[in-house]
Amino acid sequence: MKIKLIRDLKNTLYTLGKVYIDDVFFCFTVEDVDRDSNQDGDLDDIGENKIHGQTAIPKGTYKMVLSMSNRFKKLMPEVLNVKGFSGIRWHSGNTALDTEGCIIVGTVRTPNGVGLSRQCFTKLMDKLKDQKDIILTIE
Protein backbone atom coordinates (compact mmCIF):
# COMPACT_ATOMS: atom_id res chain seq x y z
CA MET A 1 0.00 0.00 0.00
CA LYS A 2 1.28 3.45 -0.92
CA ILE A 3 0.26 6.46 1.15
CA LYS A 4 1.10 9.96 -0.03
CA LEU A 5 0.82 12.99 2.23
CA ILE A 6 0.94 16.26 0.33
CA ARG A 7 1.48 19.25 2.61
CA ASP A 8 -0.35 22.10 0.96
CA LEU A 9 -0.72 24.81 3.61
CA LYS A 10 2.08 25.79 5.97
CA ASN A 11 2.41 28.61 8.46
CA THR A 12 4.18 29.33 11.74
CA LEU A 13 1.57 27.46 13.81
CA TYR A 14 0.71 24.28 11.88
CA THR A 15 0.91 22.34 8.62
CA LEU A 16 -2.15 21.12 6.72
CA GLY A 17 -2.14 18.38 4.13
CA LYS A 18 -4.06 15.84 2.08
CA VAL A 19 -3.64 12.06 2.14
CA TYR A 20 -3.93 9.81 -0.87
CA ILE A 21 -4.00 6.02 -0.50
CA ASP A 22 -2.98 4.22 -3.68
CA ASP A 23 -3.52 7.54 -5.54
CA VAL A 24 -7.11 8.00 -4.28
CA PHE A 25 -7.90 10.93 -1.96
CA PHE A 26 -8.56 9.66 1.56
CA CYS A 27 -8.48 12.51 4.12
CA PHE A 28 -6.98 15.75 5.41
CA THR A 29 -4.19 16.11 7.98
CA VAL A 30 -2.85 18.58 10.50
CA GLU A 31 0.70 18.45 11.83
CA ASP A 32 3.10 20.58 13.77
CA VAL A 33 5.16 23.23 11.98
CA ASP A 34 7.26 22.06 9.02
CA ARG A 35 10.67 23.45 10.00
CA ASP A 36 12.55 22.02 6.99
CA SER A 37 12.84 25.45 5.39
CA ASN A 38 14.77 24.35 2.31
CA GLN A 39 12.65 21.19 1.90
CA ASP A 40 15.65 18.86 1.57
CA GLY A 41 14.20 16.17 3.84
CA ASP A 42 16.21 16.85 6.99
CA LEU A 43 16.47 19.33 9.83
CA ASP A 44 20.27 19.66 9.62
CA ASP A 45 20.57 23.12 8.09
CA ILE A 46 20.95 26.52 9.77
CA GLY A 47 17.61 27.73 11.13
CA GLU A 48 15.96 24.30 10.95
CA ASN A 49 16.07 23.49 14.64
CA LYS A 50 13.72 20.77 15.81
CA ILE A 51 11.58 21.92 18.71
CA HIS A 52 10.46 18.92 20.74
CA GLY A 53 6.73 18.33 20.39
CA GLN A 54 6.32 21.21 17.93
CA THR A 55 7.96 19.99 14.72
CA ALA A 56 6.58 17.97 11.82
CA ILE A 57 8.73 15.14 10.52
CA PRO A 58 10.75 16.00 7.40
CA LYS A 59 9.47 15.15 3.95
CA GLY A 60 10.68 11.82 2.58
CA THR A 61 9.71 8.18 2.20
CA TYR A 62 9.16 6.03 5.27
CA LYS A 63 7.96 2.57 6.15
CA MET A 64 4.85 2.35 8.30
CA VAL A 65 3.58 -0.47 10.51
CA LEU A 66 0.69 -1.01 12.85
CA SER A 67 2.04 -1.37 16.38
CA MET A 68 0.84 -1.07 19.94
CA SER A 69 1.17 2.45 21.31
CA ASN A 70 2.30 2.56 24.93
CA ARG A 71 0.86 6.07 25.25
CA PHE A 72 -2.55 5.45 23.66
CA LYS A 73 -2.80 1.75 24.69
CA LYS A 74 -4.06 0.61 21.29
CA LEU A 75 -2.89 -0.49 17.87
CA MET A 76 -1.96 2.52 15.73
CA PRO A 77 -0.02 3.36 12.57
CA GLU A 78 3.62 4.16 13.34
CA VAL A 79 6.10 5.87 11.02
CA LEU A 80 9.50 4.17 11.29
CA ASN A 81 13.09 5.37 11.01
CA VAL A 82 12.52 9.12 11.11
CA LYS A 83 15.87 10.75 11.89
CA GLY A 84 15.68 12.60 15.21
CA PHE A 85 12.12 11.41 15.99
CA SER A 86 10.61 8.41 17.73
CA GLY A 87 7.07 7.17 18.35
CA ILE A 88 5.58 9.03 15.38
CA ARG A 89 1.95 7.94 15.06
CA TRP A 90 -1.13 8.73 13.04
CA HIS A 91 -4.03 9.49 15.37
CA SER A 92 -7.14 11.56 15.97
CA GLY A 93 -7.26 15.16 17.15
CA ASN A 94 -8.24 18.53 15.75
CA THR A 95 -5.29 20.94 15.74
CA ALA A 96 -1.51 20.94 16.00
CA LEU A 97 -1.97 21.42 19.74
CA ASP A 98 -3.18 17.78 19.83
CA THR A 99 0.10 16.37 18.51
CA GLU A 100 3.78 16.19 19.37
CA GLY A 101 5.16 15.53 15.90
CA CYS A 102 2.50 13.00 14.92
CA ILE A 103 0.08 13.16 12.00
CA ILE A 104 -3.58 13.85 12.78
CA VAL A 105 -6.25 12.77 10.30
CA GLY A 106 -9.71 14.18 9.65
CA THR A 107 -12.54 13.93 7.17
CA VAL A 108 -12.98 17.70 6.88
CA ARG A 109 -10.56 20.61 6.96
CA THR A 110 -11.11 23.44 9.44
CA PRO A 111 -9.42 26.86 9.43
CA ASN A 112 -6.60 25.56 11.67
CA GLY A 113 -6.85 21.78 11.52
CA VAL A 114 -9.26 18.93 10.84
CA GLY A 115 -12.67 17.72 11.96
CA LEU A 116 -14.47 14.38 12.21
CA SER A 117 -11.13 12.94 13.22
CA ARG A 118 -12.19 9.87 15.21
CA GLN A 119 -14.38 8.61 12.38
CA CYS A 120 -11.54 9.20 9.93
CA PHE A 121 -9.05 7.37 12.14
CA THR A 122 -11.41 4.37 12.36
CA LYS A 123 -11.66 4.28 8.54
CA LEU A 124 -7.87 4.55 8.27
CA MET A 125 -7.38 1.61 10.62
CA ASP A 126 -9.87 -0.45 8.59
CA LYS A 127 -7.81 0.28 5.45
CA LEU A 128 -4.48 -0.55 7.09
CA LYS A 129 -5.38 -3.53 9.28
CA ASP A 130 -4.42 -6.29 6.82
CA GLN A 131 -1.55 -4.49 5.08
CA LYS A 132 2.00 -5.81 5.49
CA ASP A 133 3.91 -3.37 3.28
CA ILE A 134 2.90 0.25 3.90
CA ILE A 135 5.04 2.98 2.37
CA LEU A 136 4.49 6.64 3.28
CA THR A 137 5.77 9.45 1.09
CA ILE A 138 5.56 13.00 2.41
CA GLU A 139 5.84 15.80 -0.14
In tens, the pLDDT along 1-11 reads: 999 999 999 99
> Quick check: 104 and 31 in contact, CB under 8 A?
yes
Q: How many helices (H) and strands (E) does the chain have?
A: 1, 10
> How many Å apart are CA 38 and CA 22, to the nearest integer?
27
Which tens digit of pLDDT belongs to each residue from 17-39?
Answer: 999 999 999 999 999 999 999 99
Q: Read out DSSP for 98-121? A: G-SS-EEEESEEETTEEESHHHHH
Confidence of residue 135 (pLDDT cuts 50, 70, 90): very high
pLDDT above 90 for 63 = yes
Percent of the chain with pLDDT over 90: 94
The single-letter DSSP state of residue 133 is -
- A 10 A CB-CB count for 97 gives 14
